Chain A
């Protein structure tokens, strides 16, 4: 089942000016319902642009985008409903915090949805739980939090709308390993609790390998290839040709296999690699 489908989508910045730049060119693609899809690509490959198309923040110059089979631009007046259903966490979302307390900032989205106060309170607690924000923090000013906590508060602000599709643009960028784990753990908790579809952009192939079911590789505004995680990461050479890496352990295993050692495919973590290598000596 496709949750979101893009058909022949093209997007151009600054059309008809000397600064014209094509961000996406004739992209057709679908995101499976209830699956975690990772978007991989260089800076400027069109990832962030694509994410902003998915909830209608930007409109493609050509092509159509379907959510559950319905054209999201068909009814411009109901764009807000689309944005509540497709929750977008932009890059460095902590810079969007503005309320007096973390609690009311998280409640901002649900309040815009017109929910009752009780329902909003439930959603805020729920979102704070997903992201692991202790309730003591909720009554602080968001500007007094640490960087990682701000990030989690901002993500909670989108989760509180309970979107069917959660879209995240490099949610872990610039965080330490623990901060990164807690954010990705929060996204996973949200997905498991709600069955949402997740679309995520990250530069860490290790994170992608751990986190994603499917992968989409973008290069220069075009889809290079799509597939399940294992399908995509097995194309080490092709990925390296466009300057993208595979998880380091996957590369190590590939080199070992090329040397004729019988190690299994689809190994992405150090612990799994250790086991595989240890098995060689038994």
Chain B
């Protein structure tokens, strides 16, 4: 009985801040402005297919880049010991202590037409580059902001791999490359999977990064939803419907990924 009593604050919290908003989203998504049930929002949404496509595509690219950059980083870090490792972990965590907006703004300053990089380029006689307001800049912003979320889970999984298992593989004739391919990599997959979720979800729903670095030209789902609630196109019903669809797509893709993960015999940390 005592344990049930202790759970009450959490139940109330969940009901107020998780369940209730979700129910509201569903209700809004399925009603029109005058409150009558309708499925119109979902058909209207079709005209935004390109935004959906772009959002998922850019988030996919950003996640991929995060894996390619983050995995080796995490691997080296996990094999390292002592002070170097602590310092490297610090350096990875450091940007996360700064305000998200501030971090992203600083990239605007760096990439602008007359920003830091272009000034540097022209000072050595090279032509200026148009980086800002491109999809590339948006991906860069995503990777920069979310890379730690890829590195840390992979790092913690690799770090926990029993050294004896690696020795066992060597003992059975595996070279360093074979030890990695046959033992370390498969055992680190759960970390990769949770890293993927932690990078993909914020990437697909971001609006700050695309607003600042995409120059408002490359509309993403986050921007679209924000516009429906706070912007010119004020229509919370459509906004809710888009949120709902996005949520379903994300949940389904994570579900599929976890299924794939279980096939490997691993529990995904989510």
Real complex partners, A and B?
no
Residue ranges of B at the interface with A (Cβ–Cβ < 8 Å): none
